[in-house]
Amino acid sequence: AQSVSQHNHHVILSEAASLELGCNYSYGGTVNLFWYVQYPGQHLQLLLKYFSGDPLVKGIKGFEAEFIKSKFSFNLRKPSVQWSDTAEYFCAVGPFSGGYNKLIFGAGTRLAVHP
């Protein structure tokens, strides 16, 4: 079955702490991988995506993610979080081709960053 598992539902950090959010997926075939973020009161927006090439991808606001094919993982990282990173983060997977935007989303991780 196709699925995305996000390891943590809630994460609480202090400013300047490092962040790593886990994401594992189960999906047949070649995939595209995404991290979307929803800031309080705002709509979902793309943080970063992996389609092919360098497995370490960089996104907006200093976020990066590493695709490890052998582990079916796409973990999100940031070396030093800020209060403004407080948001809900969603990992998503879709087929490399032919999927027509049919993404499978994880349940989300709520991140709270305290000053």
**Where on the chain is the footprint of another protein (CB under 8 A)?**
32, 36, 43-46, 49, 51, 90, 92, 94-97, 99-108
22 burial via Cβ count (<10 Å: 0-12, 13-18, 19+): middle
* 18 and 111 Cβ atoms separated by less than 8 Å: no
Compute the least distance from the CB of residue 107 to another protein, in Å.
Answer: 5
Residue 5 or 17 having the CB closest to another protein: 5
Q: What is the DSSP letter of 84?
A: G
Residue 98 or 115 having the CB closest to another protein: 98
Residue 17 or 95 having the CB closest to another protein: 95
Compute the least distance from the CB of residue 95 to another protein, in Å.
Answer: 8
* 86 and 112 Cβ atoms separated by less than 8 Å: yes
Residue 23 or 104 having the CB closest to another protein: 104
Going by C-alpha positions, the residue among 26, 33, 27, 19 that lies closest to residue 81 is 19
Compute the least distance from the CB of residue 76 to another protein, in Å.
Answer: 17
Compute the least distance from the CB of residue 115 to another protein, in Å.
Answer: 28
Structure tokens at 12: 């609480």
